Copies of this chain bind each other. A is one copy, B any other.
Amino acid sequence: MDKKTKYLNQDHINKCLILCGDSRSVLLEFENSAELIVTSPPYADARKKHYDSISPEKFPEWFMTFHDVLWNTLKDDGSLVINIKDKVVDGIRHRYVWRAIDKLISAGWLCIDDYIWQKPNPMPGFWPNRLRDGWEYCFHLTKSKKFYMDQKAVAVPVGDWVNKRLQKLSENDQSRHNSSNDSGFGRDISKWVGKEKVAPSNVITIPLVGKNMGHPAVFPVELPSFFIKLLSRENQLIIDPFAGSGSTGIAALKNMRNCLLVDNNFEYCKIAYDRLSREVADLYNEVHFFNPQEEYQSVVNDLKMNYNVRKNKTTKEK
């Protein structure tokens, strides 16, 4: 069933709300609402227009000022995914990212794993004693060991080897055959017949996007998309507290989730609004944008309703 049919049948739409303001106050009214917070905070010293210009030394402390609101906004079985990379300071890889994650862990977050976003096409360049930087961290933090994860949603195609391997099953392939070393591994090849997808790894290979959206640090839509599929269900709420040009919103609506984008820079909010209006807004996806001064309570309520219950109304398809 394609998306359009699905929505026609389900008789509801997804929404993306863009709010201009400081996440630390804007998110206060979204307590316990998000299944997933996925974001790429302004890297230390990198985006001077954003918040204060944060020095690497002060970054961990600065980021901790968001801890309370992130914790309270996230549902108990939800996930927080932070895409970030250490900066090189004076020829040395700075450790402010480790410091920041350490602080979050001390504050109660569980760091389940460190995913690697691998960029097969890192920015061109040459430095005599530094290779091109081809990866960034995506830290997966949760409030509890019982969190939602659906690996099938991001399963990858099985390798070509299965075709040859499973043509004919030998005797040892018919039932479980234990490994002769002491690794504890064994295998039961017969279970693999017909398998098309396998579990993904924690290295996510996505090319760097070349487009400059008028924003200095666009991450590719595929990156939030991966985590949205892995760590949330349809119609749930995804939040990006440092929304930038709004890639998280694109990913959310494309995957039939609702989304709240917050950014304290008006220009970026506007860019995100234009981008979402152009790329994903349609009969089944609404995009709303409000300034700090405007009254948006009705839409907020609407959004809350939308992720809690499905709208009951008579929708006319086009």
**What 11 additional pairs, Cβ within 8 angstroms, besides A126-B151, A135-B201?**
A88-B113, A95-B105, A98-B98, A115-B131, A118-B203, A121-B165, A132-B201, A134-B203, A135-B202, A181-B212, A182-B212
Residues of B within 8 A of A210 (CB): 181, 183, 185-186
**Does A133 belong to the interface (CB within 8 Å)?**
yes
Interface: A116 (CB within 8 A)? yes
Question: Across the interface, do A126 and B199 meet the contact criterion of CB distance under 8 Å?
Answer: yes
Residues in B whose Cβ lies below 8 Å from that of A134: 116, 201-203
A114 within 8 A of partner (CB): yes
A125: chain B residues at CB < 8 Å are 199
B95 engages A202 (CB within 8 Å): no
Is A316 at the interface (CB under 8 A from chain B)?
A: no
**Bound-state Cα–Cα, A49 to B133, Å:** 37
A interface, over-half SS? loop
In the complex, what distance in Å separates the CA atom of A88 from the CA atom of B186? Answer: 21
- Chain B nearest CB, measured from A254 CB (Å): 19
A199 CB to closest chain B CB, in angstroms?
Answer: 5
Interface 1/0s, chain A 137-174, versus B by CB < 8 A? 00000000101010100000001011001000000000
Min CB–CB distance A89 → chain B (angstroms): 11
A78-123 residues at the B interface, CB under 8 angstroms: 86, 88, 91-93, 95, 98, 102, 105, 110-116, 118-122
What residues of B have a CB within 8 angstroms of the CB of A200 in the complex? 131-132
Q: List 14 A-B contacts (CB under 8 A).
A: A93-B113, A95-B111, A98-B102, A113-B130, A116-B135, A120-B161, A124-B192, A131-B151, A131-B201, A134-B201, A135-B201, A161-B207, A181-B211, A186-B210
| Nearest CB in chain B to that of A201: its residue | B134
A128 sits at the interface (CB 8 A): yes
A188 within 8 A of B: yes
Shortest distance between the CB of A28 and any CB in chain B (Å): 29
Q: Tell me the complex Cα distance, A126–B186, Å.
A: 14
With beta carbons under 8 angstroms apart, the residue of B110, B133, B188 that contacts A202 is B133
Contact A199 B98 (CB under 8 A): no
Residues of B contacting A314 in the complex (Cβ-Cβ under 8 angstroms): none
CB of A129 within 8 A of CB of B147, answer yes
Q: Would A188 and B93 count as touching, CB distance under 8 A?
A: no
A129 / chain B contacts, CB cutoff of 8 Å = 112, 145, 147, 149
With both beta carbons as reference points, the residue of chain B lying nearest to A205 in the complex is identified as: B118
Q: Which residue of B lies closest to A139 (CB)?
A: B93
Q: Are A120 and B159 in contact (CB under 8 A)?
A: yes
CB distance from A259 to the nearest CB of B (A): 23
CA distance A95 to B99 in the complex (A): 11
- For residue A9, CB closer than 8 A to chain B, the reply is no
Contact of A110 among B92, B126, B147, B186 (CB under 8 A): B92
A128 to B133, CA, bound (A): 32
